[in-house]
Amino acid sequence: METTNRTNRADRICTLLYTGSHTTEAQGEYSLPDYLPDVRRVLRVTASPRVTGRYMNGERLELEGNAAVVLLYMAEDGTIHSFQNTLPFSQNIAVAGLDETAVVSVRIHPENASCRLSGPRKCTLRTRLRTSVRATAERDVTPDTASLPGDETLCTRNSAYPACTLICVSAGDLRYSEDIPVGNAPISEVLSCTVMPVVSDARATGGNVVCKGEYLIDALCTVADDNGPAYRCLSRRVPFSETVSAQDIPDGCRCEPDLSVVSVTPTITEEGRGLGVDFAAECAVVCSVDSAVSVMTDAFLPSSDVRITSEAVQSYLPVRVTNGNFSAAGSIRQDNGETVRAIIDCHMTPTLDHTACEGGRLILSGTMEINAIAQAEDGTFFPVNGSIPLRWETDAAGLDAQSMFVTNECRVLSSAARPDADGTVSCEAELAVLLSAAGLAEVSRPLSVTVPKDAPKAEKPTCPVLLCYPERGETIWDIARRCRMTPAVICRANDLPEDTETIPDSITVLFVPVAQMFSAGE
């Protein structure tokens, strides 16, 4: 995420420049290093992408990054091994109106990671990446005003619009170290190790943003015993609380967190009886500060009308940030005819692809991709892949079908997989979801105020004007414009509050002070 931090100003609105998703592929051809045995069967491929650079080049957003890919496979002797590498990727996205004031949010999700073997020691690793981009920017709503004739003062009519300022704060190089006891059976090799962040809360307090949650550590390890290698999964949930400096951000404003792990280094300790996991993370938080903006909607001069040039923009109105937990369960069937004796490891990846407000409820749905490594009765290993449906719903108060939704986080908190007697594998998981919902309002943003050369000049009345009979639907502004004076003059002359807009039903005639006609002064 990137932005130019600034305090909120009353003459600016936050406009939505762009929101959308794009897909790209990252792939590479590799040969196994000499210390790894030949591949007999691919068991699982996982990808963890991260953006390493983002640049604004004119009205184009350029992204660079890499996806860390882990290939788990079974060798000819039936043992499991891992091969790791990185796949570079880049994307170029056109964003109209993009400039240095923009707040850009980028989230990348891996899909369909795969491996194609071209020999026992050569493979092509590939993954599809889905990039979700949202770009907003502040836009000035104070129009440029051309030179006015003489010493006349412009009389303007403004409307108040709810608005917000988006400010991004971030902290990098967050480092952690965790020791996981192994137990009596020592481990000899770490085949894969992942660290997933789950943010449960992010809020502004005391000039800082405090993010809280857990890191979920999962490792698949080789355990050496007298009967040959065995395999064990180690898991640990590590709570965290990170404070990010956020000056000029008021307490209680809405916060959209984005926490990503950038590196993981597992180390076997205590002669295999412990696993040390060192990892680094980055945290970025978009804070929305609510405000109200006064936008010019009409104007006139005492002697003539003026021309207002404007453009329609979508003003970004944050509504709320919602989080919650939900469960998912289902069964997948393996088709190779082998009987599953045990599930060695199971990797679950949630994807929420539909969000809607229906019947007063906010409903999210998607799928959970499951990649399991199963052990057959003869002791060999094979993959079991499939998917189960996801669904979460909560109260949709304050939201409607026109709201814009951004899924900040959808993470697996815990999962389990077990073989059934009928040959299927039952899967269940607890998940956490963090969702930002935003409203969008179309605002006519004024760009310039000019006096057309052919504008008709108002003529002074030839007889005194003392009374004005308002027509149905006319407002104080309409009367003031017709009589060429400010609304405040009309209100004061008729004992009305100066901010009165609608003419009370009890008033059928308005007194107009003739001496102040053709004067936009107070």
The residue ranges of DSSP E strands in 58-183, in sequence order, are 60-74, 80-94, 103-119, 122-140, 144-145, 155-181
Domain with 483 in it: what CATH number? 3.10.350
Of 418, 443, 468, the one marking the end of a domain is 443
Q: Considering the domain boundaries, does residue 317 fall inside one?
A: yes
In a shared domain, residues 271 and 126 = yes
Q: Which pLDDT value is given to residue 291? A: 83
In a shared domain, residues 471 and 414 = no
Of 396, 414, 443, the one marking the end of a domain is 443
In a shared domain, residues 313 and 165 = yes
In a shared domain, residues 410 and 490 = no
Which residues are paired to 221 by β-bridges? 190, 232
DSSP tag of 121: T
Strands 381-395 and 361-376: antiparallel
Q: 345-374: b or e for each residue (b if 16 or more CB lie within 10 Å)?
A: bbbbbbbbeebebeeeebebebbbbbbbbb
Q: Which pLDDT value is given to residue 289? A: 85
Q: Which pLDDT value is given to residue 359? A: 82
Measured from the Cβ of residue 327, the count of other Cβ atoms closer than 10 Å reads 13
Q: Which pLDDT value is given to residue 24? A: 93
Q: Considering the domain boundaries, does residue 448 fall inside one?
A: no
pTM of the entire predicted model: 0.82
Q: Which pLDDT value is given to residue 436? A: 83
The H or E element that residue 189 is part of is strand 187-205
Q: Which pLDDT value is given to residue 25? A: 94
In a shared domain, residues 310 and 382 = yes
Q: 482-514: b or e for each residue (b if 16 or more CB lie within 10 Å)?
A: ebbbbbbbbbeebebeeeeeebeeeeeebebbe
In a shared domain, residues 126 and 19 = yes
In a shared domain, residues 345 and 463 = no
Who contacts 248 (Cβ-Cβ below 8 Å, separation ≥6)? 5, 7, 167
DSSP 434-476: EEEEEEEEEEEEEEEEE--TTPPBPPPPSS---EE-PPTT-BH
In a shared domain, residues 434 and 493 = no
Counted domains in the chain: 2
The H or E element that residue 214 is part of is strand 208-225
Q: Which pLDDT value is given to residue 481? A: 87
Q: Which pLDDT value is given to residue 459? A: 64
In a shared domain, residues 252 and 311 = yes
Q: Considering the domain boundaries, does residue 268 fall inside one?
A: yes
In a shared domain, residues 41 and 175 = yes
Question: What is the extent of the structural domain holding 316?
Answer: 12-443
Of the candidates 372, 328, 326, the residue with the CA atom closest to the CA atom of residue 346: 372
Q: Considering the domain boundaries, does residue 489 fall inside one?
A: yes
- Asked if residues 262 and 134 have their Cβ atoms less than 8 Å apart, the reply is no
Who contacts 522 (Cβ-Cβ below 8 Å, separation ≥6)? 486, 488, 489
> Helix H segments across 360-462?
none
d(CA 514, CA 68): 79
Q: Which pLDDT value is given to residue 8? A: 42
> Helix H segments across 52-186?
none
DSSP 237-276: EEEEEEEEE-TT--TT-EEEEEEEEEEEEEEEEGGGTEEE
Q: Considering the domain boundaries, does residue 151 fall inside one?
A: yes
In a shared domain, residues 375 and 464 = no
Of 443, 467, 498, the one marking the end of a domain is 443
In a shared domain, residues 432 and 479 = no
Q: Considering the domain boundaries, does residue 451 fall inside one?
A: no
From first to last of the 522 residues of the chain, give the pLDDT tens digit: 333 333 445 588 889 899 888 999 999 999 999 999 999 999 999 999 999 888 999 999 999 999 999 999 999 999 999 999 999 999 999 999 898 888 888 888 898 899 999 999 999 999 999 998 989 998 899 999 877 776 778 888 888 888 888 888 888 889 999 999 988 789 999 999 999 998 888 889 888 899 999 999 999 999 977 677 889 999 999 999 999 887 778 888 888 888 899 999 999 999 899 999 999 999 988 888 888 889 999 998 887 778 899 999 988 887 677 888 999 999 998 776 778 889 999 999 998 888 888 888 889 999 999 999 999 888 889 999 999 999 999 888 777 777 888 776 788 999 999 998 887 899 999 999 888 888 888 889 999 998 887 766 666 655 555 688 888 889 999 988 888 888 888 898 899 998 888 998 888 898 888 776 666 555
